[in-house]
Structure 1
Amino acid sequence: MTANVNRTRRWVLIGGGAAIAAGFAIREYRLIPPDYTGGQITVAEAHNQASKGEILLIDIRTPREWAATGIGEGAYPVDMRREDFEQVLDQLSDGDRNTKIALICARGVRSARMSNRLTEAGFTNIIDVPEGMLGSGAGPGWVRAGLPLEAYKEET
């Protein structure tokens, strides 16, 4: 009996901790003021525009996340933690900081932050994809929307 009570308590604590963490993530996202110039687009718009070559779609998540879900078709996987992140964007955009660059992460928090940071760094047309790959308050996300995915091929 005691083992069942302990197990139940453990799951209640884990569930409560997850709910609190989700609440903080949502609060954090809402507190990020959008100082980037390109606005926001849905995952469907991001896929459509990337497929047509109208935007550079950059998946800023980590290799572990790419391996878990795949990468959205048409997106370039560039880990935002790279020290040369801005230089990689310069290479992908042929040095044109006016290029339309859309950023996507898991749930829209990191992409909003990075959109602001890149705008401060002189990129003039940064677009946020707030749904992310996994969904957020902005929408279902790339995966649940059933948009095409490509397997992540780890660099060797």
Structure 2
Amino acid sequence: MLPASVVFGQAPASLSVREAYEAARSGEIILVDIRSAAEWADTGLPQGAVPLDVDATAFDVRLAGLRLDHPGKRIVLIDRTGAQAIAVAQKLAGPDGWLAEKLPVAAYP
């Protein structure tokens, strides 16, 4: 897993995997692994990460729910290469993203 992309409340940025690990461990961030279940089974899930398959139904809603559950905390996305994390971060936090437009979100059960 390479760069962890920060979303919500700021432009997408990168953290090293060590920085992401330390920040998650100290409670500074919510670490979300957006790889597939097959990838988690193959390599394991990073300790402390929330598993949230980017291709799963209602991914965007579940991610927004994490934001509601953890107000004020940065949410960091990680994946195998960093490419999906960056794409999702740009989609959600970009100039035309759902959150950037301050559109409504609902808590996910």
Same fold by TM-score greater than 0.5: yes
- Runs of at least 4 residues of structure 1 off by over 6 A? none
Would the alpha carbon gap of residues 42 and 49 (structure 1) be closer, same or farther in structure 2, given more than 3 Å must change? same
Q: Shift of the alpha carbon at 1:96?
A: 6.0
**1:84 counterpart residue number:** 58
Note the alpha carbon deviations across 1:20-57, whole angstroms, 9 max, x for none.
Answer: xxxxxxxxxxxxxxxx6141100001011111111111
Please identify the structure whose Cα radius of gyration is greater: 1
* RMSD over equivalenced CA pairs, Å: 1.9
1:101 partnered with 2:78: no
Where does structure 1 lack aligned partners over 5 or more consecutive residues? 1-35, 124-156
How many angstroms apart in 2 are the aligned matches of 1:51 and 1:97?
18
Q: Kindly indicate whether residue 104 of structure 2 is the aligned counterpart of residue 122 of structure 1.
A: no
Aligned partner of 1:58: which letter?
V
Name the counterpart of 1:44. 18
CA contact (8 A) 1:58 1:78 kept: yes
Identity %: 32
1 or 2 for the larger relative contact order (CA 8 Å, sep ≥6)? 2
**Displacement of 1:90:** 2.6
Within-5 A mapping of 1:1-156: 37-94=11-68, 99-119=73-93, 120-122=97-99
Q: Does the 8 Å CA contact 2:28/2:73 hold for their aligned counterparts? A: no
The answer to which structure has the higher strand fraction is 2
Normalised by the size of structure 2, how large is the TM-score? 0.71
Q: Which has the higher helix share?
A: 1
Q: Which moved more, 1:71-80 or 1:87-96?
A: 87-96
SS at 1:67 equivalent: helix
Q: Residue 110 of structure 1 aligns to which amino acid in structure 2?
A: Q
The count of corresponding residues between Structure 1 and Structure 2 is 88
Once residues 52 and 69 of structure 1 are traced to their aligned partners in structure 2, the CA distance between those partners, rounded to angstroms, is: 23
| Cα pair 1:78 1:85 within 8 Å, conserved | yes
Structure 2 unaligned segments of length 5 or more: list them: 1-9, 101-109
| 1:113 aligned partner, one-letter code | A
The amino acid across from 1:116 in the alignment is Q
Kept after mapping to 2: 8 A contact 1:90/1:96: no
